[in-house]
């Protein structure tokens, strides 16, 4: 049983993208001013998540080995893979922050539905949040099992690594989870683009009466404003 760097690194990068999208979900919910929503609480949670994802990406940059040490069935390559896995497995604070964020978001969406303020889009958002969280923790459990076996194998004579485990992670679990995170990404940015409060603020920022986003260029300009001046302002690493 063995994982390779090509199995692990894309997954870890997608984890950072997913957590960043959760920051955008919090931003959207704050601007929707849902019943039960508290701007200070949402802002604090956004700040916490941003801090976690920056730390996570810094760890990836620091521990990613040189290209020549990433592949191959050698003791060094296996140790490098285990080191990368531990970035995710040992980051309990990141995992707990993801749990807390999902609980908060689902509570707000549920309360909004109970008060008759629901929409089909918000219902899909709640479902997608659940799908992504479940997929992440299934992946964490899978990697924990692989890591445990791989650590045991290091104490034994080297054997030919079986590609089956890496294939299962890369082509089954990781690929299916990325479908879910991509759907979350598309959904939250669609909701943000249609949010009246955000559109009004964007129009004021670019000094026009309307903030059209009909062409690719207009939407790209909106996304740039959203990232640089609103959600990720002051966080150049993301």
pLDDT tens profile 119-147: 788 889 999 999 999 999 888 888 787 77
Stretch 137-162: mean pLDDT:
66
- How far is it, in rounded angstroms, from Cα 139 to Cα 177? 9
Do 216 and 115 lie in one domain? The reply is no
Pick from 15, 12, 7, 148: which is nearest to 71 by CA? 7
Among positive and negative, which fits the CA dihedral 168, 172, 175, 176?
A: negative
Confidence of residue 160 (pLDDT cuts 50, 70, 90): very low
Whether 96 and 131 map to the same domain: the answer is yes
* pLDDT at residue 41 in the model: 86
Residues 81 and 145 placed together within one structural domain of the fold: yes
Q: State whether 209 and 127 are in the same domain.
A: no
Say if residue 56 is in the same domain as residue 93: yes
Same domain, yes or no, for 124 and 34? yes
pLDDT band at 16 (very low <50, low <70, confident <90, very high): very high
Boundary-marking domain end, from 188, 213, 229: 188
Same domain, 204 and 180: no
User: Are residues 215 and 118 part of one domain?
Assistant: no
| DSSP label of 237 | T
pLDDT at residue number 161: 47
Give how far the C-alpha of residue 172 lies from the chain's centroid of Cα atoms, to the nearest Å: 18
Q: What is the mean pLDDT of residues 23-46?
A: 83
Opening angle at CA 95, ends 94 and 100, nearest 5: 95
In the DSSP assignment, the letter for residue 69 is: G
Task: With both helix axes pointing from N to C terminus, report the angle between 92-114 and 39-63 in degrees, rounded to the nearest 10.
Answer: 150
Determine the structural domain holding residue 220 and report its residue range. 195-238
Nearest to 198 by CA among 234, 238, 225, 232: 225
Q: Do both 121 and 148 map to the same domain?
A: yes
With a CB cutoff of 8 Å and minimum separation 6, the contacts of 117 are 34, 35
Same domain, 234 and 179: no
Alpha helix (H) residue ranges in the chain: 5-32, 39-63, 75-89, 92-114, 120-154, 163-167, 174-194, 196-205, 216-225
Number of domains in the chain: 2
Domain co-membership, 184 together with 201: no
Cα–Cα nearest to 212, from 201, 225, 224, 199: 199
DSSP state for residue 231 in the 8-state scheme: I
Average pLDDT, the chain: 80
Contact 31, 195 (CB under 8 A): yes
Domain boundary among 188, 208, 223: 188
Contact 188, 195 (CB under 8 A): no
Determine contact, residues 231/50, Cβ cutoff 8 Å: no
Quick one: 155 and 237 in the same domain?
A: no
């Amino acid at each position: 049983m063995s994982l390779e760097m090509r199995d692990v690194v894309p997954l870890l990068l997608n984890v950072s993208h997913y957590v960043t999208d959760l920051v955008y979900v919090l931003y959207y919910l704050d601007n929707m001013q849902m019943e039960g929503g508290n701007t200070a609480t949402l802002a604090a949670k956004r700040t916490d998540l941003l801090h976690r994802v920056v730390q996570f990406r810094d760890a990836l940059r620091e521990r990613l080995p040189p290209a020549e040490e990433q592949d191959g069935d050698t003791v060094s390559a296996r140790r490098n893979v285990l080191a990368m896995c531990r970035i995710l497995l040992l980051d309990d604070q990141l995992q707990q922050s993801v749990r807390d964020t999902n609980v908060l978001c689902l509570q707000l969406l549920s309360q909004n539905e109970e008060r008759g303020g629901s929409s089909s889009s918000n219902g899909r958002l709640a479902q997608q949040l659940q799908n992504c969280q479940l997929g992440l923790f299934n992946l964490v459990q899978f990697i924990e099992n692989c890591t445990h076996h791989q650590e045991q194998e290091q104490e034994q004579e080297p054997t030919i690594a079986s590609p089956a485990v890496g294939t299962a992670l890369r082509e089954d679990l990781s690929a299916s989870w990325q479908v879910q995170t991509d759907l979350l990404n598309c959904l939250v940015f669609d909701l943000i683009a249609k949010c009246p409060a955000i559109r009004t603020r964007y129009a004021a920022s670019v000094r026009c009466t309307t903030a059209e986003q009909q062409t690719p260029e207009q939407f790209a300009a909106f996304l740039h404003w959203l990232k640089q001046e609103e959600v990720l302002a002051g966080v150049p690493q993301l």
